[in-house]
Amino acid sequence: MTDVRNRIRKFAESTATVRPVDAFGINGTLGVRKITGTERDEALDYFKANQGKESALAAFFIAMCLVERSTGDQVYDFRNDRDIEELQAMPFDELKLVWDAAAAHNGMSDEDPVELAKKNSHPIPS
């Protein structure tokens, strides 16, 4: 069993890459990361609590995924309301660039946050 678990960990680590994204006029500096299962649960809880506030949902997900490419450090704290509000005030076209990259990197569609917010329970990932 330990061998199988080690192989699973190695696979997860090898797929936990940062995908580059050029946005906010700082090309080559930013990236998006994959979120964990626990973070996905946090996102679902946030989506449910903020249903109907699509800009907040997008800002939360972007804050969760946006990182500095060289370090992997998050640029915004998705648990900080001020960071979410700051992102909400950004130009939509730039947010869309980051959203599209983060969603694709995490296997999410544009409709997922809205649909997930409507559900009463956490869906099993497909």
Question: For 63-102, how does the pLDDT look when each residue is reduced to its tens digit (9 = 90+)?
Answer: 999 999 888 899 999 999 999 999 999 998 889 989 999 9
Residue 3 has a pLDDT of 84
Give the start-to-end residue ranges of the domains of the chain: 21-118
Reported confidence tier of residue 52, pLDDT bands at 50, 70, 90? confident
What are the phi and psi torsion angles at 24 (to 5°)?
60, 25
Q: Tell me which of 55-59, 106-110, 113-117 is least confident.
A: 113-117
Task: Return the residue matching tokens 């680590």.
Answer: 13
Q: For residue 113, what are the contacts with CB-CB under 8 A and spacing of at least 6?
A: 43, 47, 54, 57, 58, 61
- pTM comes to 0.75
Instruction: Give residue 124's pLDDT.
Output: 40
Sorting pLDDT into bands at 50, 70 and 90, what band is 60? very high
Please return the burial class of 117, using the count of CB atoms within 10 Å of its CB with bins 0-12, 13-18 and 19+: buried
Look at residue 120 in the predicted model and tell me its pLDDT. Answer: 42
- The dihedral over CA atoms of 47, 51, 52, 57, expressed in degrees to the nearest 10, equals -10
